[in-house]
Amino acid sequence: EADIYQTPRYLVIGTGKKITLECSQTMGHDKMYWYQQDPGMELHLIHYSYGVNSTEKGDLSSESTVSRIRTEHFPLTLESARPSHTSQYLCASSSGWGYGYTFGSGTRLTVV
């Protein structure tokens, strides 16, 4: 039973389109994260949030943006998708240090 939900699971979209990847959690966690992973590579942190109205960029530079208007919701938006954005995007939440993360199932994005 998933407590963190990502939609869509798979998305194929044309270059230049605007897309929003959804992430919601029901655990009341303050901290939420977006990671990007290419096949065979490590997960790279691209955005994180400490709570409502808090958003920060992660270690890996990304052209995406995020918002945190509600505790449970942390959507990621690409204003103009490009083939270089093709990747798997993983959302996670945490109650803090020492508790690890709960990950969503991920969104596999393909930009053609």
Partner 1 sequence: DQQVKQNSPSLSVQEGRISILNCDYTNSMFDYFLWYKKYPAEGPTFLISISSIKDKNEDGRFTVFLNKSAKHLSLHIVPSQPGDSAVYFCAASSQGGGADGLTFGKGTHLIIQP
Residue of 87, 94, 109, 111 that binds partner 1 (CB under 8 A)? 94
Binding status of residue 41 toward partner 1 by CB under 8 A: yes
Q: Which residue has the tokens 């991920």?
A: 106
Of 19, 90, 109, 111, which lies in the binding site for partner 1, with binding defined by CB under 8 A?
90
- Between 18 and 21, whose beta carbon lies closer to partner 1? 21
- Identify the residue among 19, 104, 109, 111 touching partner 1 (CB under 8 A): 104
Residue 48 in contact with partner 1, rule: CB under 8 A: yes
| CA separation for the pair 50, 41 (Å, rounded) | 26
Least separation in angstroms between CB 72 and partner 1? 17
64 contacts partner 1 (rule: CB under 8 A): no
Query: Interface with partner 1 includes 9 (CB under 8 A)?
Result: yes
- Taking CA atoms, 41 is separated from 29, 44, 62, 73, in Å, by 27, 9, 16, 27
Cα of 76 vs its chain's centroid, Å? 6
From 68, 28, 26, select the one nearest 47 (Cα to Cα): 68
Q: Of residues 56, 63, 79, 82, which one binds partner 1 by CB under 8 A?
A: 56
DSSP 73: B
